[in-house]
Amino acid sequence: MSHAPANAVSRRPRPSVRSRAAVEKLTRWAGGILLAALLVLLAAGGFWWWRQSRINVSTDNAYVVGNITPIGAEVAGQVVALYTDDNMVVRSGEPLAQLDPIPYQIAVDQATADLAQAKADALAAETTVRLNTQNQAAVLQGAQAKVPEYERLLQAARLDVDSKRYLLEKDGQALDALRAQAPGLEALLENARDYQQRFARLAAAGAVSGQAFDDKQAAWRDAQARLAALRANMAAAERQVAADKVSLNQATVKVGQTQNQLEQVRAGLGQAQATQLQPKVAEAAALAQANKVTQAEAKLREAKLRLGYTLVRAPQAGIVSRRTIQLGQTLAARQAFLSIVPLDFNNVWIVANLREEQMAGVQIGQPVRIRLDGIPGREFGGYVESVEGGTGAVFSLFPPDNATGNFTRVVQRLPVRIRFTEKENWQMRIRPGMSARITIDTTRLVRHENQKAAGRW
């Protein structure tokens, strides 16, 4: 291997002055190009930043908000079992705590017994209504049927009285006629006796024939017989008149009796009509008993409901937080003893407080990029759901009064609600209260139906 001599470097040709000038010129030219490119990049970056600041709205005054459900028992009681602890994940319907159910079970048993008694009373009342209705209807029908019957009997009795009175009158007239004949027959008898006695003397003296005496004797006897027959007929007629009077009196008494019976029947009909109110009274009592049954059923349902309240269940899925309940503790009714924080995106959203000058281009339905301090390196999607009805100062405990003399203009912030577009909470790590940074793209909409429904804010 050959080696170059030590003075070989000194023998290299030195660059000329022209070459050095060309290199310097090239260097200056490249530096200018680089400077121009840098200026262009800076200008482009500045323009992009200016444009982004004009079309995008960003803030770090944002945080996660969620529906936090306080849990309390609807009834008071002692905690006999505890099924949960802080930070446990529970599903909807899972038991959280058990209160002592014995007093409430006793109340259910008592309500059940009261309901059974009320039903028995209601059944007895219904039976009473049915029996009263049937009995009173039968009594009324019987009383109504007796009135026409006794009216017919009274009419028949009155007709009988009239008939007996007519017979008495006829028999009286016949007796009077017979009595009117008595004087003539008595005179005829006296005349016949006188003739008989005279002819008897004449016949004894032979002044008249025996035949003439016999004729007068026969006429006297005929007059006696006719008078006796008349008197017999008169006696019979008197007896008939007396019998007619007795019969008339009996018929008259019967009319009075029938009249009294008719009045009694009519009074019974009035009483039967008055007693028709008894079924209505019984119906009212039965209705009251039915209402008591309804009340007893309601009390039983309430007792069962309160018994069911002794087992406290989770109304929705979430994470148990702020548990204050302990085993053996006596809880008051509706006393909150823990909270459930649901983490699904129906119950979790972002609230961003934007300055009022940032609201010029913000509309409902615009897309949002979300970054959470607790989850670095990951970006979530969202959209503007709604805008608060007023600034935070309006809803503060002491809202500002700008009419006072010491007015100071302060830029206000308007809360904006932002919903996640993600389907599920990422690893269940997005929790209420976490800080967030959001950027709203004001150039487009991703929820047009919301925009139409809610309108521009």
| pLDDT tens-place string over residues 195-226 | 777 777 777 777 777 777 777 788 888 888 88
Query: Are 451 and 363 within 8 A, CB to CB?
Result: yes
CA distance readout (Å), 397 to 409, 414, 417:
19, 17, 22
CA distance readout (Å), 87 to 51, 140, 342:
45, 79, 12
Which two tokens mark 240? Answer: 């008939």
At 454, give phi and psi (nearest 5°): -90, -25
Least confident piece of the model among 95-99, 200-204, 449-453 = 449-453
- In terms of Cα–Cα distance, which of 345, 356, 350, 347 is closest to 439? 350
What gap in Å lies between CA 52 and CA 42, rounded to an integer?
15
Average pLDDT, integer, range 249-271: 81
| pLDDT tens-place string over residues 44-78 | 777 666 655 567 999 999 999 999 999 999 999 99
The pLDDT, as a whole number, for residue 450 is: 47
| pLDDT tens-place string over residues 131-176 | 777 776 676 677 667 778 777 887 888 888 888 888 888 888 888 8
What gap in Å lies between CA 339 and CA 347, rounded to an integer?
14
The listed range with the strongest mean pLDDT (33-47, 382-396, 424-438, 442-456) is 424-438
CA 241 to chain CA mean position, Å: 84
Which two tokens mark 447? Answer: 């929820």
Beta carbons within 8 Å of 321's beta carbon, 6+ residues apart: 68, 86, 87, 338, 339, 340, 341
Question: Residue 438: how many CB atoms within 10 A of its CB?
Answer: 24
- In the chain, CATH 1.10.287.620 sits at 105-284
3 has pLDDT over 50? no
Of 3.60.15.10, 3.20.20.60, 3.90.1150.10, 2.40.30.170, the CATH number of 55-67+343-454 is: 2.40.30.170
What gap in Å lies between CA 299 and CA 297, rounded to an integer?
5
The pLDDT, as a whole number, for residue 79 is: 95
In 3-state terms, what secondary structure has residue 5? coil
- In the chain, CATH 2.40.30.170 sits at 55-67+343-454
In 3-state terms, what secondary structure has residue 261? helix
Query: Are 317 and 91 within 8 A, CB to CB?
Result: yes
The second-level CATH assignment, the architecture, of 69-101+309-338 is Beta Barrel (2.40)
Read off the DSSP letter of residue 388: -
In terms of CATH, what superfamily is 105-284?
A: Helix Hairpins (1.10.287.620)
Query: Are 75 and 99 within 8 A, CB to CB?
Result: yes
- In the chain, CATH 2.40.50.100 sits at 69-101+309-338
User: To the nearest 10°, the Cα dihedral for 311, 316, 317, 323?
Assistant: -60
455 has pLDDT over 50? no
**What's the pTM value of the predicted model, to 2 decimals?**
0.58
115 has pLDDT over 50? yes
Read off the DSSP letter of residue 329: P
